[in-house]
Amino acid sequence: MSASHSIEAIKKHRRTYLTVFLCLLVGTALTVGMYYVHFQHLSTTVTIALIVATVKASLVAAFFMHLSHERKAIYSTLLVTACFLAAMMWLFIHTRTDVPLDTEFPATKYVPHSSTPAKP
């Protein structure tokens, strides 16, 4: 397969790789910068951080791992994996949130340490 690629095409790819590299650095800077901004809600930080991380990961997968032009067998395998991973994460979290008697989880409320003696 590598033989079928012309030198020109490979050179073009190398430019793509460098662009992706820059994007990744920018993404990293963005995530770290966001940390110092301190949004009102933790959820904003989490969402932004995860979106940036997902974009970065997709870039690595699509270009460095050349998933942007791969074969069907690999796509199907990864699709199945993604389904199971999503099922695992979603159901784990769902069992955590779906508990009888409307139990409230302590971590949803923020309590400074001074007012709560730390639990053993």
Partner 1 sequence: MEATTHAKHGHDTHAETHHHEPGFMQKYIFSTDHKTIGIQYGVTALLFLFFGFSLMAMMRWSIAYPGKALPVVGSILHALLGDAVSAVNNPDTHQLIGYAMSPDLYNSFGAMHGTIMVFLAIVPLAFAAFGNYVVPLQIGAIDMAFPRVNMASFHCYFLGGVVMFASFFIPGGAAKSGWTSYSPLATVADMGHRFNGQTFWIIGMVLLITSSLLGAVNFIATIIQLRAPGMTWMRLPFFVWAQFVTAFILLLAFPPLEAAGVMQLMDNLFGTSFFLPSGLMMGGTTPLHVSGGGSPLLWQHLFWFLGHPEVYVLILPAMGIVAEIIANNTRKPLYGYKSLVYSVLAIGFISFIVWAHHMYLTGMGTKISTFFQTTTMIISIPSVIILTCLFISLWGGSIRFNTPMLFALAFLPMFGIGGLTGLPLGFNFADLHLHDTYYVIAHFHYVVAPGTIFGLFAGVYFWYPKITGRFMSERLGKIHFWLSLIFMNAIFQPMFLQGMSGMIRRMYDGGAGYSLAKNPDTISALSEKIMALNIPISHAAWALGLSQIPFIFNFFWSIRHGRKVESDNPWQSSTLEWQTPTPPPHGNFDKPIEVFGMPYAYSVPGASSDFTPQNEPGDSPRR
Partner 2 sequence: MDIPYTTKARPDTGLFNAKLGIWLFLASEVMLFGALFSSYILLRVGADPGAWPQGLLNIPIGTFNTAVLITSSVTVVLGWSALQMNNFKAYRKFQAVTILCALGFLGIKSFEYSDKFTHYEIWFKDGHRQTGHVYHNGKKVWFWNNKSLEGSPAVTDAKGNVKEAAVPAVAEFEFHPDARHYAAAAPAELAAAPVEHAAAETGHGAAAHPAITVKSSDIRRLSAFVPSHSTYFAIYFTLTALHGLHVLGGALVIAFLWGPGAKMWKTDPERYTNRVEISGLFWHFVDLVWIFLFPILYLL
Report the partner that residue 117 touches, choosing among partner 2, partner 1, none (CB closer than 5 to 8 A by kind).
partner 2
Note whether 95 binds partner 1 by CB under 8 A: yes
Tokens 């974009």 belong to 55
Both tokens of 103, joined, read 């139990």
- Residues ≥6 apart with Cβ < 8 Å to 49: 31, 34, 35
Note whether 45 binds partner 2 by CB under 8 A: yes
Side chain identity, residue 57:
A
Closest CA to 23 of 66, 10, 44, 31: 31
Please give, one letter per residue, the 3-state secondary structure of 13-36: HHHHHHHHHHHHHHHHHHHHHHHH
Site map for partner 1, 98-117, x if CB under 8 A?
xxx-----------------
Report the partner that residue 25 touches, choosing among partner 2, partner 1, none (CB closer than 5 to 8 A by kind).
partner 2
HSE of 90, CA atoms in CB hemisphere, 13 A:
6
Residues that bind partner 2 (CB under 8 A): 1-3, 5, 7, 10, 13-14, 17-18, 20-21, 24-25, 28-29, 31-32, 34-36, 38-42, 45-46, 49-50, 52-53, 56-57, 60-61, 63-65, 71-74, 77-78, 80-82, 84-85, 88-89, 92-93, 96, 105-107, 109-114, 116-119
Residues that bind partner 1 (CB under 8 A): 73, 77, 80-81, 83-84, 87-88, 91-92, 94-95, 98-100, 119-120
